[in-house]
Amino acid sequence: MDHIKNVFSFPNPVNDVSARLVAGMVVVLSVAAIITGEPLLFAALVYGFVARVATGPTLSPMGLLATRVIVPALGNPSRPVPGPPKRFAQGVGLVFSVTALLLLLLMESAGLAKALVAVLTIFASLEAFVGFCAGCFAFSQMIRFGLVPESVCRECVVRPAAEIN
């Protein structure tokens, strides 16, 4: 039972190096999905987000590639960041990718599906290439405005400059 509990847990903290590498892989897969319109690529995006929301990198091919192959090959660089905002960001990606897949398969609306994946690609690119996690920013703002209890992630709270000084 503990093994199942360990599989279905999300790491906290998360290595931001791994997260950015995964985001880069999401960009590549998303661009391929947009260019080809191939439903299996849209489904692969969905699977990746489901796996990462449910288990972090444990059941995610991209997560495993980043954490078990690429990061070690780079000498194990580590930049720990809070896990809950990263999980929230993966959840947002899940909503976008599931909606895109449903639009593609059920409504035969490839244009709208590709547009949603394009938005996902923009945000994954910001994470991968600039280091800005929009989902993490939104999560911190939800804590700040009381929509998420601060106890979920005390490290995630963004304090106005006036409070810090």
Q: What is the pLDDT of residues 60-101, one digit of tens each?
A: 999 999 999 999 999 999 999 999 999 999 999 999 999 999
- Binned at pLDDT 50, 70 and 90, residue 154 comes out as confident
- Binned at pLDDT 50, 70 and 90, residue 125 comes out as very high
In which domain, by residue range, is 39 found? 2-132
Q: Name which of 124, 100, 87, 121 is nearest 43 in CA terms.
A: 100
pLDDT for 158 equals 55
Confirm whether 92 is domain-assigned.
yes
* Mean confidence (pLDDT) of the chain: 91
Q: Which two tokens stand for residue 142?
A: 């939800």
Confirm whether 120 is domain-assigned.
yes
Give yes or no for a contact between 94 and 53, defined as CB atoms under 8 angstroms apart: yes
Confirm whether 156 is domain-assigned.
no
Give yes or no for a contact between 126 and 134, defined as CB atoms under 8 angstroms apart: yes
Higher pLDDT residue, 3 or 104?
A: 104
Average pLDDT of the segment spanning 46-52: 98
Confirm whether 163 is domain-assigned.
no
Number of domains in the chain: 1
- Binned at pLDDT 50, 70 and 90, residue 32 comes out as very high
Confirm whether 147 is domain-assigned.
no
Q: Which two tokens stand for residue 17?
A: 């190096």
Confirm whether 47 is domain-assigned.
yes
pLDDT for 3 equals 56
Residue 149, SS3 per DSSP? coil
